[in-house]
A and B are shown apart, each in its own frame.
Chain A
Amino acid sequence: MQSHSDKTGMIAKKRVSYRVMAAIGAFLAMMVFVMPNMLYPIFLMKVMCFALFACAFNLLVGFAGLLSFGTAAFFGSASYISAHAAKVWGFPPEFAILAGTAAAALLGLVIGAISIQRQGIYFAMITLALSQMIYFLALQMPFTHGEDGIQGVPRGILFGLFDLNDIMTMYYFVLAVFCAGFYLVWRTVHSPFGQTLKAIRENETRAISLGYKVYYYKLVAFVLYASLTGLAGATKAIVFQLASLTDITWQMSGEAILMTLLGGMGTLVGPVIGAAIVVTLENYLASTNLPVTVVIGGIFVVCVLAFRKGIVGELQAAWERSRNRRDR
């Protein structure tokens, strides 16, 4: 939804990549040593689950140009499946999460195959309608326990070695899952596959005329998005020991959009920052008398009207501007 200029030369790119490495190292050190001592680990885990959720959505909208309004279907169904697998089938956490992720991937394959036949707003409406269908199914199927959801999901023992009931073990596990998911997004974006996706986003007709099978590229991107969203949902179910209808309502799909829009669509770290802000804000608002939905809606309106590039996008643009001025 926004154009990029990759005019940076080779040398500049190398210099930047050192900076990126340093930033990643600093971030990791902070997340491992400092943050859990400063903030409530449960809160950080929530932020990381939602950050992964937003990153997955951003992969689809920012790099393939497909605005899906059905993110909640994958998030919610993965959390139901992994909660059920852990609680009823007695799966260890790693397999419960894998089961949830696989279910989301399968669902993504089906929903993606149907919805990417159309583009733009039609795509958005079709994904919205299909995810609402999944919501009704979740409401009716007996294993989801309707309004109650699946409660008291056991966290279990990871790989038979690490007891996830220990809050810090759980925290490091979620951090690892988040980093793995983020790395996958990063690799995808910088791969030839990711470049092709960008080409399709910028000019689909030309991509077709160059011989790319656009449908399959979009489908793979969609399945990847669904799986990563599923990974986030499944992990969240294990962390909070709960899978409920909230995760599968279409308002949840709206949250993914808001986090990404606020942080910056098509930027890598934007969704993470957006997710952190939205989760913090919701936590804060929950303790006040202000209606959360109104504030969220207000942010939506302001974002769309005033800064469509999002926080990171606007910062990047400002940096580009100042560098251009310096060069001249």
Chain B
Amino acid sequence: MFELLGISPQVLMGQLMLGLINGAFYALLSLGLAVIFGMLHIVNLAHGALYMLGAFLAWMLWTFLGLGYFWALLLVPLALGLVGVVLERTMIRRLAGFDPLYSLLLTFGIALILEGAFRHFYGVSGQPYPGPDIFQGGFNLGFMFLPTYRAWVLGLSLVVCFGIWFLIERTRLGANLRAATENPVLVQVFGVNVPLMVTLTYGLGAALAGLAGTLAAPIYQVNPNMGSHLIIIVFAVVVIGGMGSILGAILTGLALGVIEGLTKVFYPEAANVVVFVIMVIVLMFKPSGLFGREM
């Protein structure tokens, strides 16, 4: 069958794997967007910039402090979470109660500042970031070669994604969170500190972006524009999946990564636009998205 199409199984499997890795990043980022949107009802346009910041922090920890990959994996999400908390407390909070479009513009401004600053100091060329030694090499699966680091990225992001899903959909804390999304005033009356929850939710979303950035640093080059290219595709993913569900964000992210990978094999010219085309088709038949609720 593969010979008929003139495509070797190695190429197909390789692209499928690359697609799955991209999909893992889409899933992590759209999950963060969905978590933030669910609680704050804002679209976080700074998400791509926070992802970029995460990758740069990992690179800086290694370059200036000599702290390796696993330190970065621990410290960067914490630092980004802190950045998120500060942004929410100092700026985003002030716009609660106004048209959500204003907070969209605010986060856009924050994204411009972050990206502009890094472009000013580091230029647009990428900084190489070495992966940890224990992830050198890979597995020979018989039909394809799977680099260990990519397997790690895929595994870790799946674990994190489903961990967050479990936290929100299956725990007491998650139940409070979802209740506060539906009716913040009532939940506050029951003695839950809703403003703190909102702040921490934004922090969590930012931490997820930081984690994605750290994971991406050894694969892609660390450069100031890495987020702004990715974030729009993630928006399309979010529109396709619909904002209603956490699981929807994860599954759509992975699926679109794979579809993009397959397009690279069969019709490479369309690989850049396939996600947007799917978005248009979904909007025509199900405007609220595949997993979304009508709002």
Separation of A122 and B272 alpha carbons in the complex (Å): 21
Separation of A300 and B232 alpha carbons in the complex (Å): 20
B105:A294 contact, CB within 8 angstroms: no
Q: Verify if A164 is at the interface (C-beta below 8 Å from B).
A: no
Q: Contact flags (1/0) for B217-240 with A, using CB distance below 8 Å?
A: 000000000001000110110110
Q: Verify if A45 is at the interface (C-beta below 8 Å from B).
A: no
A126:B232 contact, CB within 8 angstroms: no
B105:A293 contact, CB within 8 angstroms: no
User: A125 contacts which chain B residues (CB < 8 A)?
Assistant: 43, 235-236, 238-239
Pick from A75-83, A131-139, A320-328 the stretch touching chain B. Answer: A131-139
Given A128-B232, A132-B232, A304-B109, A121:B116 Cβ within 8 A: no
Q: Verify if B265 is at the interface (C-beta below 8 Å from A).
A: no
Q: Verify if A308 is at the interface (C-beta below 8 Å from B).
A: yes
Q: Verify if A117 is at the interface (C-beta below 8 Å from B).
A: yes
Closest residue of chain A to B49 (Cβ to Cβ) is A297
Closest residue of chain A to B46 (Cβ to Cβ) is A297
Closest residue of chain B to A249 (Cβ to Cβ) is B228
A294:B116 contact, CB within 8 angstroms: yes
User: A250 contacts which chain B residues (CB < 8 A)?
Assistant: 228, 232
Closest residue of chain A to B99 (Cβ to Cβ) is A1
Closest residue of chain B to A126 (Cβ to Cβ) is B239
Separation of A299 and B106 alpha carbons in the complex (Å): 10
Q: Contact flags (1/0) for A78-122 with B, using CB distance below 8 Å?
A: 000000000000000000000000000000000000110110111
CB of A295 to closest CB in B, whole Å: 8
CB of B120 to closest CB in A, whole Å: 4
Contact of A301 among B101, B106, B239, B243 (CB under 8 A): B106
Q: Verify if A31 is at the interface (C-beta below 8 Å from B).
A: no
Q: Verify if A296 is at the interface (C-beta below 8 Å from B).
A: yes
A133:B273 contact, CB within 8 angstroms: yes
Q: Verify if A11 is at the interface (C-beta below 8 Å from B).
A: no
Interface of A is mostly: helix
A120:B111 contact, CB within 8 angstroms: no
User: B141 contacts which chain A residues (CB < 8 A)?
Assistant: none
Closest residue of chain B to A125 (Cβ to Cβ) is B235
Q: Contact flags (1/0) for B254-295 with A, using CB distance below 8 Å?
A: 000000000000000100110011011001100100000000
B106:A304 contact, CB within 8 angstroms: yes
CB of A293 to closest CB in B, whole Å: 3
Closest residue of chain B to A250 (Cβ to Cβ) is B232
User: A129 contacts which chain B residues (CB < 8 A)?
Assistant: 232, 235-236, 239, 276, 279
Separation of A297 and B116 alpha carbons in the complex (Å): 8
Q: Verify if B126 is at the interface (C-beta below 8 Å from A).
A: no
Given A125-B235, A293-B116, A114:B95 Cβ within 8 A: no
A118:B108 contact, CB within 8 angstroms: no
User: A124 contacts which chain B residues (CB < 8 A)?
Assistant: 43, 101, 104
A121:B100 contact, CB within 8 angstroms: yes
Q: Verify if A12 is at the interface (C-beta below 8 Å from B).
A: no
A291:B116 contact, CB within 8 angstroms: yes
Given A136-B272, A291-B117, A305-B94, A257:B238 Cβ within 8 A: no
B283:A301 contact, CB within 8 angstroms: no
User: B61 contacts which chain A residues (CB < 8 A)?
Assistant: none
Interface residue ranges of B185-233 to A (CB < 8 Å)? 228, 232-233
Given A129-B235, A129-B239, A305-B94, A297:B112 Cβ within 8 A: yes
Q: Contact flags (1/0) for B92-133 with A, using CB distance below 8 Å?
A: 001100111111111011111111110110000000000000
Q: Verify if A140 is at the interface (C-beta below 8 Å from B).
A: yes
Q: Verify if A292 is at the interface (C-beta below 8 Å from B).
A: yes
Given A301-B91, A305-B91, A292:B116 Cβ within 8 A: yes
CB of B92 to closest CB in A, whole Å: 10
Contact of A294 among B99, B106, B113, B235 (CB under 8 A): B113
The 8 residue pairs across chains A and B that have the minimum distance between CB atoms: A293-B116, A300-B109, A297-B112, A297-B113, A291-B120, A133-B276, A294-B116, A301-B109
Interface residues of A (CB under 8 A from B): 1, 67, 114-115, 117-118, 120-122, 124-126, 128-130, 132-133, 136-137, 139-140, 250-251, 254, 257, 261, 291-301, 303-305, 308
Interface residues of B (CB under 8 A from A): 42-43, 91, 94-95, 98-106, 108-117, 119-120, 228, 232-233, 235-236, 238-239, 243, 269, 272-273, 276-277, 279-280, 283-284, 287
Chosen A-B contacts, 27 in total, with CB atoms closer than 8 Å, are A114-B280, A118-B287, A120-B101, A121-B42, A121-B43, A122-B243, A129-B239, A130-B279, A132-B276, A136-B272, A136-B276, A251-B112, A257-B105, A257-B108, A291-B117, A293-B116, A293-B119, A294-B112, A297-B108, A297-B109, A297-B111, A297-B112, A297-B114, A300-B106, A301-B109, A304-B109, A305-B94
Contacts A67-B101, A114-B280, A137-B273 known; 14 new A-B pairs at CB < 8 A: A121-B43, A126-B279, A129-B276, A133-B273, A136-B273, A294-B117, A297-B110, A297-B116, A298-B113, A300-B112, A303-B109, A304-B95, A304-B105, A305-B95
